[in-house]
C-alpha cells in the first residue's frame, strides 16, 4: 500500500489525497469517499469494466458489498489464487491471471514454500509475465520459471482472463491453435488455459 503522494511525487495536488491509495503498481483503491481521482493513463473499473482515460475524477458507487472504488491501471497483470479459508504454503497449484493489455507491461511472480526461512538462502522462484500489444495483436508470455524451493511442482497450469475490446478471431498457444477459449460478452473477456508451465516459456497470441 502506498499513499498517492508516494506513487506520484511530482504532482503536489496529491498531497491532500487522504481517501485513496495505490495497492501495488496496478490497483487504485478508494474508501470513505464519493469520488475517486485518476492519475494520467488508462484505467478500468474492476467491477463494471468501464474504461476511463486519466486525469479524471469519477463518482464512486457505494454498495453493501463495495465500500469504494477499485480501479485497474491499463497494462495490469494480476495473479490470483482460488478462494480458500487459509493459506498453508507460498504457492498455488492453480494460478489465474487477470490481464489488462497495454502497449507493454511486465510482472514478476514470486513464490516460495511459505513455511520456512529457506527464502533467505535463495530457495524461491520467480516467473516473468509479459504482455505486449501491437495493433490488434496481444501476446502474453509466461516466462520460464527460475529458481526452486521445497515442494515446488515441476509444472502447473495457468488460466488467463484477458480483457479485450472485442472477441479475438484467432488464439494460439506456442503457435498451435486454441479452440477452447470462452468469450464473456458482458465482461469483454476471453479465458484461455495455459497448461504445463514450468522451465520452458509459453506464448499465448490473440488477434
DSSP states along 5-44: HHHSTT-GGGGG--SEEEETTTEEEE-S-SEEEEEEEEEE
Q: Do domains 19-73 and 77-206 have the same CATH topology?
A: yes
φ and ψ at residue 140, rounded to 5 degrees: -110, 125
Per-residue model confidence as pLDDT tens digits over 24-77: 999 999 998 999 999 999 999 999 899 999 999 999 988 888 889 999 999 999
Determine the Cα–Cα distance for residues 96 and 106; give it in Å rounded to an integer: 16
Per-residue model confidence as pLDDT tens digits over 12-22: 999 999 999 99
Helix%, strand%, coil% for the chain, nearest 5: 5, 50, 45
Place of cell 474508501: 31
Q: Where are the domains of the chain?
A: 19-73, 77-206
pLDDT of 88 above 90: no
pLDDT of 84 above 90: no
Tell me which of 3.40.50.970, 1.10.3720.10, 2.60.40.1180, 3.40.50.1000 is the CATH number of domain 77-206. Answer: 2.60.40.1180
Per-residue model confidence as pLDDT tens digits over 157-201: 999 999 999 999 999 999 999 999 999 999 999 999 999 999 999
Say if residues 136 and 198 touch (Cβ distance below 8 Å). Answer: no
φ and ψ at residue 121, rounded to 5 degrees: -105, 15
Determine the Cα–Cα distance for residues 169 and 161; give it in Å rounded to an integer: 16
pLDDT, position 75 = 96
Topology (CATH) of 19-73: Immunoglobulin-like (2.60.40)
Amino acid at each position: 500500500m502506498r499513499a498517492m503522494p508516494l506513487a506520484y511525487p511530482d504532482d503536489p495536488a496529491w498531497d491532500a489525497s487522504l481517501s485513496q491509495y495505490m495497492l501495488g503498481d496496478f490497483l487504485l483503491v478508494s474508501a470513505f469517499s464519493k469520488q475517486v481521482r485518476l492519475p494520467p493513463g488508462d484505467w478500468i473499473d474492476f467491477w463494471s469494466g468501464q474504461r476511463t482515460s486519466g486525469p479524471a475524477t469519477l463518482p464512486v458507487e457505494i454498495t453493501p458489498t463495495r465500500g469504494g472504488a477499485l480501479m485497474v491501471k491499463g497494462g495490469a497483470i494480476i495473479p490470483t489464487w482460488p478462494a480458500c479459508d487459509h493459506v498453508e504454503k507460498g504457492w498455488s497449484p492453480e494460478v489465474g491471471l487477470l490481464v489488462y493489455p497495454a502497449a507493454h507491461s511486465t510482472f514478476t511472480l514470486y513464490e516460495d514454500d511459505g513455511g520456512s526461512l529457506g527464502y533467505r538462502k535463495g530457495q524461491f522462484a520467480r516467473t516473468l509475465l509479459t504482455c505486449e500489444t501491437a495493433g490488434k495483436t496481444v501476446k502474453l508470455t509466461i516466462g520460464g520459471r527460475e529458481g526452486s524451493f521445497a515442494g515446488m511442482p515441476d509444472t502447473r497450469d495457468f488460466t488467463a482472463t484477458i480483457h479485450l475490446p472485442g472477441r479475438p478471431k484467432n488464439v494460439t498457444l506456442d503457435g498451435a491453435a486454441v479452440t477452447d477459449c470462452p468469450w464473456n460478452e458482458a465482461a469483454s473477456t476471453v479465458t484461455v488455459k495455459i497448461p504445463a508451465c514450468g522451465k520452458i516459456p509459453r506464448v499465448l497470441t490473440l488477434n
